[in-house]
C-alpha cells in the first residue's frame, strides 16, 4: 500500500477515511483493527534542528513542509495550520529568509491488521464506488506521528543584498552561539535597520505545534524557545503533528471487481494549479514591493517605472490567483471538470533594481580591488568593461565575507548577463582570500623578497593560482615568514579543497616547493 505523510488537522483519527483532492477527513471509520499500537523500539525522540538561509519562495515552502506535489496534502489550497501561517506575511524575491526550524518525532502509533469497516464493506459488496468515495474518500488514516514542529522565519526585506545578508549572518551566528550571543540580536538588527539606505526591514513569524509556553516577545526569546522545544514535547506532552495515509488497494476486498476512483489526473491538475499559484503569489508580492519603493527600480531598458502599468499588472495577477482558487475548488468537488490552467507568470515583465545602488558598489569594489595586486591582475584579465564592472560589484558585495552564499548568488542574478561572470569571479576571489587572509598575506610578502617564489607563483597566469600558492606558502614556509608547518594535515587539506581548480593547483605547487623538493635536498 502506498503511504504518505500529511499534516495533522483537528478531528483526524486513525481509521477515518480521507479525500486527498479536497484535503477533508471523513467522519465515519473506513477501516477497523484489533488494536492501535506504537512502533516497537521507538520510545525515544528524533530531533532535527537547524538554521538555514533561503532566498527563493519555492525552497522556503518546501523547507517548512508546504508542497504542491501530488503526493502531499496541501496543493497550496487546503486550509491547514501551515498554509494559514504562511498567508500571514508577504513573500517576494526582495526578501531573504533565515529559518530556525525544529522537528521532534517522539512516537508513531498505527492501526494493526486493518480491515474495512462494516459500512465500507457493504458499499464494496454492492459496487457503489461513488457513494464509497463520498463517505470514505480515496485513502484512510493508518497512523499518527507524535512530537511537534517549531518554525521561526526571520524575513529580511530590502533593496540592498549585502545589507540583507549581513542580518542573515547575525541571526545564524546568534543561533549557533547560544544565549550569550543571541542576547544582542535585537540590538544588532535595530542598528542595521536604522542605518539602512535600502528600506531594510526585519520581521519574524513563529509557527509552533506541540507546546504552550510563554509568548515569544523578542527575537532572543524565539531562539531560546527553539533550543528548549524538544523537551517541551517529550513523553506525554507529545503533539499529533502528522498522520500516515494509505490507499485502499492493499486491503482485503470482498469485491475483486470493485474499481476505486482514479484520482491521478485530478492530482496532476491540482499540482499544476498549485505551482502556478505559488508563482503568482510571489509575483504579486514582488509587484507590491516595487510599487511601494518604485524609485529604487527601473525597466530593463533603463527607463523609469510606469506605476499605472504596474498597478494594472498587479490587479491582473490578483485576479489570476482568485481564478485559480476557484478552478481548484471546482476540481476538488467535481473531478470530471479538472482542466489545466493556462495562466503563465512569465508573461509579466517585472522592473529591475535601478543601477544607482550598483554604482555605489562599483566604486566601493574598485577601491577594494585596487589595494590587492592579484585582484587588479584578475580584473585586468577579464574580456570587457561589463565583466570588469561585475567584478568590482562582486568584490564589494563579498567584502569581509569568507564564504559564498545564496544571497550573493541571488544578487548576481539581478545583474546584466554580461556582468555576471565577472561578478562571480570577484565574489569567489574575495571570499577565498578573506577566508585565508593571514596565510595569503604571508605568502605574498615572501614572494616580494624571494625571486624563486615570485617566479613559481606565476607559473600559470591565473590570479587564483597565485592566491592558492600564496596561501600554501604562508602555511609551509619556514618561520618567521611563514607558519613553518612541515606536513600536510586535515586542516591544510581542507583549506586546499575549499579553493577552485586553479587555486588548488597553485596550492599544490607551493607544497611541492616547500615540502617535497625541500625533503629531496
- pLDDT tens digits for range 352-367: 877 666 677 888 899 9
Cα distance between residue 5 and residue 73, in whole Å: 8
The CA-based diameter of the chain, rounded to the nearest angstrom, is 95
pTM, 2 dp: 0.64
292: left (phi over 0), alpha (psi -120 to 50) or beta: alpha
Cα distance between residue 259 and residue 356, in whole Å: 64
pLDDT at 219: 66
pLDDT at 72: 43
Going from the C-alpha of 273 to that of each of 7, 137, 150, 270, 342, the distances in angstroms are 20, 21, 28, 5, 9
Class of residue 177 by CB neighbours under 10 A (exposed 0-12, middle 13-18, buried 19+): middle
φ, ψ of residue 480 to 5 degrees: the values are: -90, -5
202 and 154 Cβ atoms separated by less than 8 Å: yes
Select from 37, 44, 150, 41 the least CA-distant residue to 106. 44
Low-confidence stretches of the chain (pLDDT beneath 50): 1, 70-74, 214-215, 519-521
137 and 17 Cβ atoms separated by less than 8 Å: yes
Question: Which residues fall within 8 angstroms of residue 500, CB to CB, at 6 or more apart?
Answer: 428, 432, 464
Cell of 209: 505545534
pLDDT at 183: 65
154 and 403 Cβ atoms separated by less than 8 Å: no
Cell of 282: 510571489
Please give the full DSSP string across 467-493, using - where no structure is assigned.
HHHHHHHHHHSPTTTS----S--HHHH
Cα distance between residue 42 and residue 125, in whole Å: 38
Locus of grid cell 494509505: 246
Select from 267, 254, 245 the least CA-distant residue to 26. 245
387 and 418 Cβ atoms separated by less than 8 Å: yes
pLDDT at 210: 63
Question: Which residues fall within 8 angstroms of residue 60, CB to CB, at 6 or more apart?
Answer: 54, 91, 97, 99, 153
Cα distance between residue 354 and residue 365, in whole Å: 18
pLDDT at 180: 58
Amino acid at each position: 500500500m502506498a503511504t504518505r505523510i500529511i499534516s495533522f488537522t483537528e478531528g483526524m483519527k486513525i481509521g477515518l477515511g480521507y479525500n486527498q483532492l479536497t484535503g477533508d477527513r471523513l467522519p465515519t471509520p473506513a477501516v477497523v483493527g484489533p488494536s492501535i499500537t506504537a512502533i516497537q523500539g521507538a520510545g525515544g525522540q528524533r530531533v532535527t534542528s537547524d538554521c538555514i538561509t533561503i532566498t527563493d519562495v519555492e525552497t522556503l515552502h518546501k523547507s517548512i513542509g508546504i508542497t504542491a506535489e501530488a503526493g502531499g496534502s496541501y496543493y497550496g489550497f487546503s486550509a491547514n495550520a501551515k498554509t494559514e501561517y504562511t498567508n500571514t506575511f508577504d513573500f517576494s524575491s526582495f526578501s531573504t529568509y533565515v529559518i530556525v526550524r525544529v522537528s521532534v518525532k517522539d512516537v508513531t502509533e498505527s492501526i494493526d491488521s486493518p480491515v474495512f469497516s462494516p459500512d465500507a464493506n457493504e458499499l464494496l459488496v454492492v459496487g457503489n464506488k461513488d457513494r464509497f468515495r463520498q463517505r470514505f474518500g480515496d485513502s484512510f488514516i493508518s497512523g499518527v506521528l507524535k512530537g511537534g514542529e517549531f518554525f521561526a522565519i526571520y524575513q529580511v526585506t530590502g533593496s540592498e543584498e549585502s545589507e540583507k545578508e549581513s542580518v542573515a549572518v547575525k541571526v545564524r551566528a546568534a543561533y549557533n552561539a547560544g544565549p550569550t550571543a543571541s542576547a544582542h540580536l535585537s540590538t544588532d538588527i535595530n542598528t542595521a535597520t536604522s542605518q539602512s539606505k535600502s528600506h531594510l526591514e526585519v520581521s519574524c513569524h513563529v509557527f509552533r505545534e506541540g507546546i504552550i509556553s510563554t509568548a515569544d516577545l523578542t527575537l532572543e526569546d524565539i531562539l531560546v524557545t527553539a533550543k528548549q522545544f524538544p523537551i517541551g514535547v517529550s513523553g506525554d506532552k507529545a503533539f499529533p503533528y502528522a498522520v500516515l495515509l494509505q490507499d485502499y488497494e492493499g486491503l482485503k476486498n470482498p469485491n475483486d471487481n470493485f474499481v476505486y476512483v482514479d484520482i491521478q489526473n485530478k492530482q496532476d491538475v491540482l499540482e499544476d494549479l498549485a505551482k502556478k499559484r505559488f508563482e503568482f503569489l510571489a509575483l504579486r508580492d514582488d509587484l507590491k514591493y516595487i510599487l511601494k519603493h518604485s524609485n529604487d527600480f527601473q525597466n530593463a531598458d533603463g527607463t523609469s517605472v510606469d506605476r499605472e502599468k504596474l498597478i494594472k499588472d498587479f490587479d491582473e495577477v490578483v485576479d489570476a490567483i482568485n481564478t485559480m482558487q476557484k478552478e481548484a475548488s471546482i476540481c476538488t468537488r467535481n473531478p470530471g471538470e479538472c482542466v489545466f490552467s493556462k495562466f503563465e507568470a512569465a508573461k509579466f515583465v517585472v522592473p529591475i533594481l535601478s543601477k544607482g545602488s550598483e554604482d555605489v558598489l562599483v566604486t566601493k569594489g574598485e577601491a577594494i580591488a585596487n589595494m590587492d595586486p592579484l585582484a587588479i591582475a584578475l580584473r585586468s584579465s577579464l574580456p570587457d568593461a561589463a565583466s570588469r564592472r561585475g567584478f568590482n560589484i562582486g568584490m564589494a558585495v563579498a567584502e569581509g565575507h569568507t564564504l559564498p552564499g545564496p544571497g550573493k548568488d541571488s544578487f548576481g542574478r539581478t545583474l546584466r548577463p554580461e556582468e555576471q561572470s565577472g561578478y562571480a569571479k570577484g565574489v569567489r576571489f574575495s571570499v577565498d582570500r578573506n577566508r585565508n587572509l593571514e596565510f595569503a598575506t604571508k605568502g605574498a610578502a615572501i614572494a616580494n623578497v624571494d625571486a624563486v617564489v615570485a617566479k613559481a607563483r606565476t607559473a600559470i597566469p591565473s590570479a587564483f593560482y597565485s592566491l592558492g600558492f600564496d596561501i600554501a606558502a604562508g602555511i609551509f614556509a619556514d618561520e618567521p615568514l611563514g607558519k613553518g608547518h612541515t606536513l600536510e594535515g586535515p586542516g591544510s587539506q581542507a583549506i586546499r579543497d575549499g579553493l577552485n581548480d586553479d587555486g588548488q593547483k597553485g596550492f599544490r605547487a607551493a607544497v611541492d616547493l616547500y615540502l617535497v623538493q625541500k625533503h629531496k635536498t
